[in-house]
Amino acid sequence: MRWIILIIALFIGLPLLELYLLFKLAGATSVWVALGIVIVTGVVGGSFAKHEGAQVLRDVFASIARGELPVDALLDGALVLVGGVMLITPGLITDAVGLLFVIPATRRCIRNFIKQRLRRKFAVVDTTARKVQDIDFHVK
C-alpha cells in the first residue's frame, strides 16, 4: 500500500507541482525566462550527465582491471542515469534532484547512504555463532 501512494505521488503529484512552480516562475519573471531555464537545464544537464556517465564507465573498467568488483562505480552509474533522466525532464524540482545525482561530491554522499541502507537490509546471520555479520560491498 505504501508503494502505491509513493507511485501516485511521483507520477501525479510531482508533475502538478512542477507545473505550478514553472507557472509561478513565468509569472515572476517571464514565459521566456522560464522556458529558457527548462531548455538550458535540459541541454546542459544532459551533456553533464553524459560526461559523468563516461567517467563512471571508465571507473568500472578500471575496477575490473584491478580485479575488484565495481560496486561503487555501478552505483554511481545508476545514480548518473537517474540524474540524467531527471535533468532532461522539464521542471525545477527534477532538475535540482537530478543535479544532486550527477555532481560527484553529492553523488558520493547519496551512494554511501544507499550502501548503508543495503547493509542494514541485507545482514548475513551466522547460525552457528549466533551473531550478525555485515556484508562488505568492497570485495577485493
Q: Give the pLDDT band of residue 58 (cuts 50, 70, 90).
A: very high
Check residue 1 and report its DSSP letter: -
* Dihedral Cα 57, 80, 34, 18, nearest 10 deg: 160
pLDDT reported for residue 136: 56
Residue range 60-110, pLDDT digits in tens: 999 999 998 898 999 999 999 999 999 988 899 999 999 999 999 999 999
Q: Give the pLDDT band of residue 127 (cuts 50, 70, 90).
A: low
pLDDT reported for residue 98: 94
Is this prediction's pTM over 0.75?
A: yes
Judge contact between 18 and 93, C-beta under 8 A: yes
Handedness of CA 40, 46, 49, 54 (dihedral sign): negative
pLDDT reported for residue 140: 46
Judge contact between 110 and 79, C-beta under 8 A: yes
Mean pLDDT of the chain: 86
- The cell numbers describing 32, all together, are 521566456
Q: Does residue 131 have a pLDDT over 80?
A: no
Q: Give the pLDDT band of residue 47 (cuts 50, 70, 90).
A: very high
Check residue 7 and report its DSSP letter: H
* Dihedral Cα 120, 121, 126, 129, nearest 10 deg: 40
* CA-based nearest residue to 140, from 70, 67, 73, 74: 67
